[in-house]
A = this chain, B = another copy of it.
Amino acid sequence: MRVRLINPNTTQSFTRTLQTIAQGFAADGTIVDATSPVMGTPSVESHVEEAVAAIGVIEQVVAGDKAGIDGYVICCFGDTGIAAAREVTNAPVVGMTEAAFFAASMLAASFSVITLPPRTRIHSERVLRETGMAERCARVRAIDIPVLDLADEDEAVEAAFLDEARRALAEDHSEAIVLGCAGLTHLVEPLSRHLGVPVIDGVMVGLKMVEGLVTLRLGTSKRSSFAYPPAKGLTGVFAHLLDGHKG
């Protein structure tokens, strides 16, 4: 089984880390294939960047289907381009955000999200609403750190998350923490040790959910909403976006 983890941004170092960590959690026989678009945005912290990154996600799914990928995880909080991704494949496509919310709701009565930077709170809220998870989320909290600084200052990042998570437990009556950004898998262990509650990284949960769906031979429904897009000519820089997709 081959599962593609799509990093919607262009920061290759993050893609490589994703590959390494995810392979460690994958089932025997699962080949993890982490990729990212060649062109786009180094991080996704705004709606504009989300729009740009969505094109890269489509591109990676179309390419993945040609390469025989069996399932996809979108590795950006906000599940960038997920509806479009579902259109171009009949493999399952899981968003790290929805996966995290579903897992959290099976482990705890309520959870808090800790995302970053603050302006992206609205992206979390959109996914909460779209997935039906809004009522289970006690609060979307945000830390004021740019995404690209995550790599550099691990200790400060961990401390900031720990502080905010403690506030979440004390003030929100939360019983689990959802990490609101990809690339934070290394925080799961220390945070859950300090906090004593489940700390959830949607990327890894998404990987396991996709593995499960593939094993059960469950793929994206091609009836109506996520049917392959109609064959019309995209033009300009988009002319080849759908070349050779299955539909």
Residues of A within 8 A of B (CB): 10, 25, 27-29, 38-43, 45-52, 54-55, 58, 81, 83-84, 86-88, 92-95, 98, 102-103, 105-110, 118-119, 121-122, 126, 129-136, 146, 148, 169, 173, 175-176, 196-198, 200-201, 204-205, 207-209, 211-213, 215-216, 218-227, 229-230, 232-239, 241-242
Q: Which residues of B contact A46 (CB under 8 A)?
A: 84, 87, 227, 229-230
**Inter-subunit contact B221/A107 (CB<8 Å):** yes
**Inter-subunit contact A208/B219 (CB<8 Å):** no
Copies of the polypeptide in the assembly: 6
A242 in contact with B48 given A204-B216, A212-B212, A226-B175 (CB within 8 Å): yes
Query: Which of B48, B58, B242 is within 8 Å of A84, CB to CB?
Result: B48
A176 in contact with B40 given A28-B27, A51-B54, A86-B47 (CB within 8 Å): no
**Inter-subunit contact A42/B233 (CB<8 Å):** yes
**Inter-subunit contact B232/A39 (CB<8 Å):** no
Q: Which residues of B contact A215 (CB under 8 A)?
A: 25, 27, 208
**Inter-subunit contact B221/A212 (CB<8 Å):** no
A106 in contact with B119 given A218-B200, A238-B41 (CB within 8 Å): no
Bound-complex Cα distance A103 to B221 (A): 11
Bound-complex Cα distance A212 to B132 (A): 22
Q: Which residues of B contact A131 (CB under 8 A)?
A: 105, 132
Q: Which residues of B contact A103 (CB under 8 A)?
A: 209, 213, 218
Bound-complex Cα distance A105 to B209 (A): 13
**Inter-subunit contact B208/A88 (CB<8 Å):** no
**Nearest chain B CB to A241 CB, angstrom units:** 7
Residue of B nearest to A232 (CB): B42
Bound-complex Cα distance A230 to B182 (A): 19
